[in-house]
Amino acid sequence: MSAESLSGDPGARVQTRGRPFEVFGELSPTAPPPLRGRRSDWVYQELSDAIRSLRLPPGAALSEPAVAAWLQVSRAPAREAITRLADQGLVTVVPQVGTQVAPISMRAVRDAVFIRKALETSAFQDAVSTKELDTRELRTIVERNRKAALDNDLEAFIETDDRLHQLVFALAGVPEVWGLVHGAKLQLDRLRYLNLAVAIDNPEVVSEHQRIVDALDDRDEAAGVAVIHQHSYRILGDTEELRKEHESYFTA
């Protein structure tokens, strides 16, 4: 994803609308096609990333021919990828209209927040009891996260945010569990991207990251768990304003 694709106000950036070819004409794939493996997996990943980051916003039209033309593949892998996205609730078929990117499901967002909080709390509890606990990389990530906020670098901000939480799972000895969290929070990530301009201007977000790392260094389980809970639910507090501003993007 280019820095340009995440620069400026996300609320303005995600207003893209139009016919499928018009929408895809504004996007570039984030990775080259694989030399081996299933093309449908690559198509799915490209579409999933575009939906997750709101480069394909709720209501954007999708069709097999448009996806196939965009990624220069046959219609079969495009069809398979769209079917997988539909199974995840990320696209929907509207009668007499066609296939569209689905609205952000607040129920799925709340579920994702709960899953992330529960798994990250458990990971923190395991990490804090690890004999050999090295938080140097975490501290580097926090400083990069802080710099991204100061520079208003939205892409770096969300990248370092995710990397910090991923490292907590690695320190707990369960790095693969982050994959479960990442997969479960597709709907949550769409809300995060929509809220990015607000989050990057809120010093409490970086402060909470710092406090999580401090709690690990201090081996203070109670303090760390409290911050993780506060941090996990923070985005839900901003949702009401976002729903007023982008009403068509949401569903219960």
Report pTM: 0.80
Per-residue pLDDT of the chain (252 residues; tens, 9 = 90+): 433 343 344 443 434 344 444 566 667 777 777 777 788 999 999 999 999 999 999 999 888 899 998 899 999 999 999 999 999 889 998 777 788 999 999 999 999 999 999 999 999 999 999 988 999 999 999 999 999 999 999 889 999 999 999 999 999 999 999 999 988 888 899 999 988 878 888 899 999 999 999 999 999 999 999 999 999 998 888 888 888 888 999 988
pLDDT 10s digits, 122-153:
999 999 999 889 999 999 999 999 999 999 99
Do 151 and 224 share a structural domain?
Answer: yes
Dist. CA 124–CA 120, nearest whole Å: 6
Residue 20 lies in a domain: no
pLDDT (tens digit per residue) in 29-49: 777 777 777 889 999 999 999
Domain that holds residue 42: 36-101
Q: Are residues 233 and 137 in the same domain?
A: yes
Are 96 and 147 members of one domain?
no
Asked if the structure places residue 17 within a domain, the reply is no
Percent pLDDT > 90 in the chain is: 58
Q: How many domains does the chain have?
A: 2
Residue 223, both tokens: 């303090």
The C-alpha atoms of residue 208 and residue 224 are separated, in whole angstroms, by 9
